[in-house]
Structure 1
Amino acid sequence: MTEETEEFSLPRSRQANERLHALIPGGAHTYAKGDDQYPENLAPVISHGHGAHVWDVDGNRYIEYGSGLRSVSLGHAHPRVLEAVRREIDRGGNFVRPSIVEVGAAERFLATVPTAEMVKFAKNGSDVTTAAVRLARAVTGRPRVAVCGDHPFFSVDDWFIGTTPMSAGIPATTTELTVTFPYGDLAATEELLTRYRDEVACLILEPAGHTEPPPGYLAGLRELADRHGCVLVFDEMITGLRWSEAGAQGLYGVVPDLSTFGKALGNGFAVSALAGRRELMEWGGLRHSGDRVFLLSTTHGAETHSLAAATAVQTTYVEEGITARLHSLGERLAAGVREVASATGVGDHLVVRGRASNLVFATLDENGQPSQEYRTLFLRRLLAGGVLAPSFVVSSALDDADIDRTVDVVAQACAVYRKALDAADPTPWLAGRPVKPVFRRLV
């Protein structure tokens, strides 16, 4: 491969993308997988994957990061997970009454996340975050939801999506009931709760993100929620298992009233979880004397093979020390990327951020501002070098050779990045339109 990425092309993927767009709105089932997130005509369509590697329909092999939008943390086709899934598939997958598999899955989850007392499973993250909001409103009798405005995504449902630039079709009366608070600022959050006194049903946030929570912050939120009578909800879609086996709540020692898990929980199989205090969760059950609450009711939420996958994933994490491995791999990758970025003079422009188990990167222009153009340039070079990396989020299937190869490819990309910075214009290296942010008002 020469320096110019124009020699790298994906003709079969391009044809497959055309077929996808003709049949599926957006050409993908998740906006973050859209071909607008990749350089023009360089959006691979995947044929298959194994471990930390995937192959596209053009026959190219890539080292993959952010696998399954961070859901595949053990690597593709993990043997312990597949064994558990195969064991259940031949025994039937969905019945007219609960399966004994549901009992085992719940016991395994509550043993892994001992800060929770009850759990209910579903298929995706939006199901359970919306259930948490509904439950908080039912318990408190309050209408408003306070979401952390610094965190990018909570649900596809109206209460959240109405607050994004993609709010078409959502009534303003719905959106007006969602208010925001800044991460790390207890004073601002208390001011919000005071302004909407006795109106806020819950505070919902990711307990940690690209930065660690400030000292005392999560405990301070716990105290604020208690004092103002609202429910504290931790969205642990990303932090669950990656921060610790018990999520961020297990790592930082602050117990929310409710928490939601997904992503890594199934290693790519469709499963999510709403967990929390028995006193609240029972509102969605049959063992209380109040009004019934429609908490969660999903036809496919108890599919046996997905729950078996979740059980196997959690067992693997605990028995094999997966969280520690993710951190070790991430630390090696971050150190390597920072070293080559600095050596090529772009250390202030290609910036690696986040916890080692959940690394992302920022691409900054010559003025130090976030740049989709420089992100496009960088992604083109990674793809040409056999690295598929919308982020640097690691899976445990990576090995040292994968990390070393990735760092070598990043070094090559950084050399081109430096040339574009010197020219103060990345356009000659884009070969098409820049990648686009997911949340935008216009197509």
Structure 2
Amino acid sequence: MDTGSTEGTAEFRLPRSRLANERLHAMIPGGAHTYAKGDDQYPENLAPVISHGRGAHVWDIDGNRYVEYGSGLRSVSLGHAHPRVLEAVRRELDRGGNFVRPSIVEVEAAERFLATVPTAEMVKFAKNGSDTTTAAVRLARAATGRPRVAICADHPFFSIDDWFIGTTPMSAGVPAATTELTVAFPYGDLAATEELLARYQDEVACLILEPATHTEPPPGYLVGLRELADRHGCVLVFDEMITGFRWSEAGAQGLYGVVPDLSTFGKALGNGFAVSALAGRRDLMKLAGLRHSGDRVFLLSTTHGAETHSLAAAMAVQTIYAEEGVTARLHALGEKLAAGVREAAASMGVSDHIVVRGRASNLVFATLDENGQPSQEYRTLFLRRLLAGGVLAPSFVVSSALSDADIDHTVAVVAQACGVYRKALEAADPTPWLGGRPVKPVFRRLA
């Protein structure tokens, strides 16, 4: 039964979700299909299992309704079950979804994407971001004949594939020889990056990074990185999985005016439907094609990469963004939310401990302890209070479906959570408010 909200106390419980999580772990390694969705990311026994969603709200199988943030790991930027996206998908479902030859929808989707991201000259679609970032790395290696990949050390995730995962604490199963070919450079530091490229002179195939994250790029940084890549003959790759659409319809490259050689898009591109894209310069992309005289590159060859309904969803998303000014709305909503959360934290005297960061369209929050250090324990306390108030927020990343009332409700719940947070700080011990073990970081060596 839908209770309308989960306003409650420390006795808030999710008995059906708890049982469903046990069923998930019995059959699915990790209990979820993305580690960031794991129940270890939530307070003990308070990881909701979702029944359905509409707009900015989701309902769990216990009947509770939540205002949801970070929807689908940032993929559902228009809100769940968006009618115009569903209409486009339904039109294709009756026409068949996958054929032995390309569908005309592939042509239309490519034309639409390249019109949206005019800095790219060719595009190839896939289903997830890991595939396209790995394809970009392979293409860069093929084009340059170089073995090494330089990743931005300050950005948390690029791919599930060995070249990246081997550099994380979850490196089990990855040969050391593979990991040794991946080197790292710090974000915003051109001198350190140039030193890295000089140290591995003529060995680095590409520089890969998110062009922006919770901080704006320093003035001249992306332009300088572009110049470094050109000077050292390596490929510049922008991972626009998050920045695509949230920064501008054409991604961060469209906003900042710096053109990468290759870029990858996903997440918001399909509003929850599985579609991603590798895009870039024609002379690079054509190496994966049939109309050149060099060695062929096995780039992306996926059975489901061009499912017509997902491509239709992507075209609908791009149309909606352009016609309805979605990016501007995301920024406006984020600014309202950030201001409200900061005011609530300040009113409770915890503004130095609950800190909202990032671009307004992509807000995250930090939970700091009495010494100003990041704390999983205080994050647990905060998440627990948000859940009890009907707010599901592993981040504060907004969707355009949020209403002013949703944000007002969120801010009110945050204010209540800040009151508990202050008590824990005064006690210098959040343990009594945790309700069990603390939440855990995604990347850790041991389960």
TM-score between both structures, scaled by the size of structure 2: 0.98
What pairs up with 1:274-353 in 2 under 5 angstroms?
274-353=278-357
Quote how far apart the aligned CAs of 1:120 are: 0.2
Give the counterpart letter for 2:84 in structure 1.
R
What pairs up with 1:29-44 in 2 under 5 angstroms?
29-44=33-48
What pairs up with 1:44-443 in 2 under 5 angstroms?
44-443=48-447
Question: The residue matched to 1:6 in structure 2 has which SS?
Answer: coil
Structure 1 residues 348-390: Cα deviation after superposition (integer angstroms, max 9, x where no partner): 0000000000000000000000000000000000000000000
Are the counterparts in 2 of residues 140 and 201 from structure 1 also a CA contact under 8 Å? yes
5+ residue gaps, structure 2: none
The alpha-carbon distance between structure 1 residues 59 and 4, as it changes in their structure 2 partners (threshold 3 A), is: closer
* Whole-Å separation in 2 of the counterparts to 1:25 and 1:229: 42
Are the counterparts in 1 of residues 125 and 305 from structure 2 also a CA contact under 8 Å? yes
Quote how far apart the aligned CAs of 1:6 are: 3.2
Give the counterpart letter for 2:211 in structure 1.
P
The alpha-carbon distance between structure 1 residues 210 and 59, as it changes in their structure 2 partners (threshold 3 A), is: same
TM-score between both structures, scaled by the size of structure 1: 0.99
* Whole-Å separation in 2 of the counterparts to 1:187 and 1:287: 39
* Whole-Å separation in 1 of the counterparts to 2:412 and 2:371: 26
Quote how far apart the aligned CAs of 1:5 are: 3.9
Structure 1 residues 27-75: Cα deviation after superposition (integer angstroms, max 9, x where no partner): 0000000000000000000000000000000000000000000000000
Are the counterparts in 1 of residues 332 and 360 from structure 2 also a CA contact under 8 Å? yes
Are the counterparts in 1 of residues 85 and 316 from structure 2 also a CA contact under 8 Å? yes
> After TM superposition, what 4+ stretches of structure 1 lie above 2 angstroms from structure 2?
1-6
Quote how far apart the aligned CAs of 1:9 are: 0.2
The alpha-carbon distance between structure 1 residues 56 and 234, as it changes in their structure 2 partners (threshold 3 A), is: same
Question: The residue matched to 1:346 in structure 2 has which SS?
Answer: coil
What pairs up with 1:8-47 in 2 under 5 angstroms?
8-47=12-51
Quote how far apart the aligned CAs of 1:7 are: 1.3
Give the counterpart letter for 1:100 in structure 2.
I
Quote how far apart the aligned CAs of 1:409 are: 0.2
Are the counterparts in 2 of residues 5 and 380 from structure 1 also a CA contact under 8 Å? no
Question: The residue matched to 2:294 in structure 1 has which SS?
Answer: coil
Give the counterpart letter for 1:162 in structure 2.
G
Give the counterpart letter for 2:31 in structure 1.
G
CA RMSD of aligned residues (A): 1.0
5+ residue gaps, structure 1: none
The alpha-carbon distance between structure 1 residues 3 and 109, as it changes in their structure 2 partners (threshold 3 A), is: closer
Structure 1 residues 137-191: Cα deviation after superposition (integer angstroms, max 9, x where no partner): 0000000000000000000000000000000010000000000000000000000
Are the counterparts in 1 of residues 74 and 267 from structure 2 also a CA contact under 8 Å? yes
Structure 1 residues 291-314: Cα deviation after superposition (integer angstroms, max 9, x where no partner): 101111000000000000000001
Quote how far apart the aligned CAs of 1:287 are: 1.1
Question: The residue matched to 1:297 in structure 2 has which SS?
Answer: coil
Question: The residue matched to 2:51 in structure 1 has which SS?
Answer: strand
Are the counterparts in 2 of residues 379 and 390 from structure 1 also a CA contact under 8 Å? yes
Give the counterpart letter for 1:20 in structure 2.
L
The number of residues matched between the two structures is: 443
